[in-house]
Amino acid sequence: MRVLVIGSGAREHALVLALSHDPAVIALACAPGNAGIASLAESYGVDVGDPSAVADLAVEWRADLVIVGPEVPLVAGAADAVRDRGIACFGPSAAASRIEGSKAFAKDVMAAAGVPTAHGEIVDNPARLDAALRNFGPTWVVKDDGLAAGKGVAVTDDLAAARAHAMTLLDAGHPVLLETFLDGPEVSLFCLVDGTTVVPLLPAQDFKRVGDGDAGPNTGGMGAYAPLPWAPPGLVDEVVAKIVHPVAQELAGRGTPFTGLLYAGLALTAAGPQVIEFNCRFGDPETQAVLALLRSPLAALLHATATGALAAHPPLEWSEGSAVTVVIAAEGYPGYARSGDVITGSEADGVLHAGTRRREDGAIVSAGGRVLSVVGSGASLPEAREEAYRKVAAVHLPGSHHRTDIALRAVRGEISVV
């Protein structure tokens, strides 16, 4: 099978790495890729936001399967364009991708499907903002209704800060979603979906805030671990039955069946699991931890999903133990990130590239906000965490920063579900 991956982040590096170990894959390419991916796959330049360009590359390269990693090309219709050219594509249609591309659409789908989620209100006019804010709090959740690379959300006890974030979004022409705050541990559950067949992967937990102890602004994700030793028995089955499957059925009933990876971001509240958000693709950085534990060949699994054969695929096989991902970010991230700094230690085992490029002199340099994802695995979560941070210590990027507490509360047994 000739497999083309679209994207340039550590998520795509993790996908390419898993595919490179699959004996069924006879050729592997990634567009546009990065400095780390280039050692495993052919690299091609492409504008990921241009569906026609993505489809043209798939045809020219003679791909048997295209895997679209990021949300931007999916929302733009890349999967539709590839399928229109007769090539199997792992990724939902533009219509189904609205589950991530529009939070208002996602809320409507969940309401129709009877899925538990936070109460929300869309505000598209500054004149309505203050009245709407009075319906929420004292912890305010303010979200960009559209795509924001994980950085369009403010969760704050400060009304002035909530209002300021909302006004920034409205001034940019973006509708705002206000939500009630959902208390409880957060869980990311990835599910493969081909219409109404749902196959869950391992649950994970990610860390959105930039600093230790969940301090500072939201980011695209600073680390993750899987599985969850504190998760209640039957959690995955409950989420699939009460949340993911009803949403898949609702989308299919609307004539926009979902094919690809449906990511449910959840809060485990006292009333049970409730949806914080849906994404239409593999999450980053959770993918880096989850795929490190997957033993089933990835190409056949994603091809089965893309071609409507998921129900016939054998049960998934997983390694025993745990995996931990720690993100190394450039100086200034999640604001203006410094780039062009030389990185050492980035070609070691378990170091996945995101914002990197290789200079003409051969040096690997930073070229983005989240620069690397470092993955450690072990027989237990403490061992995996120790391995991840041992690898982090061997990487040097001037001015970089990373969280030191990824999975720490779980290791200490400090997470509980009411």
Q: For the residues of 44-111, what is the DSSP string, one character each?
A: ----TT-HHHHHHHHHHTT-SEEEE-SHHHHHHTHHHHHHHTT-EEES--HHHHHHHH-HHHHHHHHH
pTM of the model: 0.92
pLDDT band, residue 118 (cuts 50/70/90): confident
Share of the chain above pLDDT 70, in %: 99
Closest CA to 43 of 55, 31, 54, 35: 31
Contact 290, 201 (CB under 8 A): yes
Q: List phi, psi (to 5°) of 357.
A: -150, 160
* Residue written as token pair 């695209």: 220
pLDDT band, residue 149 (cuts 50/70/90): low
Contact 303, 194 (CB under 8 A): no
| Angstrom distance (rounded) from CA 323 to CA 325 | 7
What is the per-residue pLDDT for 123? 86
CATH number, span 183-312: 3.30.470.20
Dihedral-angle region of residue 143 (phi above 0 means left; psi in -120 to 50 means alpha; beta otherwise):
beta
Q: Is the pLDDT of residue 130 over 90?
A: no
Q: Rg of the Cα trace of the chain? A: 20
Return the CATH number of 322-411, one of 3.40.50.300, 3.20.10.10, 3.90.1150.10, 3.90.600.10.
3.90.600.10
CATH number, span 2-94: 3.40.50.20
**Tokens found for residue 110:** 């969940």
| Angstrom distance (rounded) from CA 397 to CA 169 | 33
Return the CATH number of 119-179, one of 3.30.420.40, 3.40.50.970, 3.30.465.10, 3.30.1490.20.
3.30.1490.20
| Angstrom distance (rounded) from CA 254 to CA 111 | 14
The structural domains of the chain, with segments of one domain joined by +, span 2-94, 119-179, 183-312, 322-411
pLDDT per residue over 10-44, tens digit each?
Answer: 999 999 999 999 999 999 999 999 999 999 999 99
**pLDDT: is 125 or 211 the higher one?**
211
What is the per-residue pLDDT for 150? 59
What is the per-residue pLDDT for 203? 98
Mean pLDDT of 83-93: 98
Dihedral-angle region of residue 255 (phi above 0 means left; psi in -120 to 50 means alpha; beta otherwise):
left
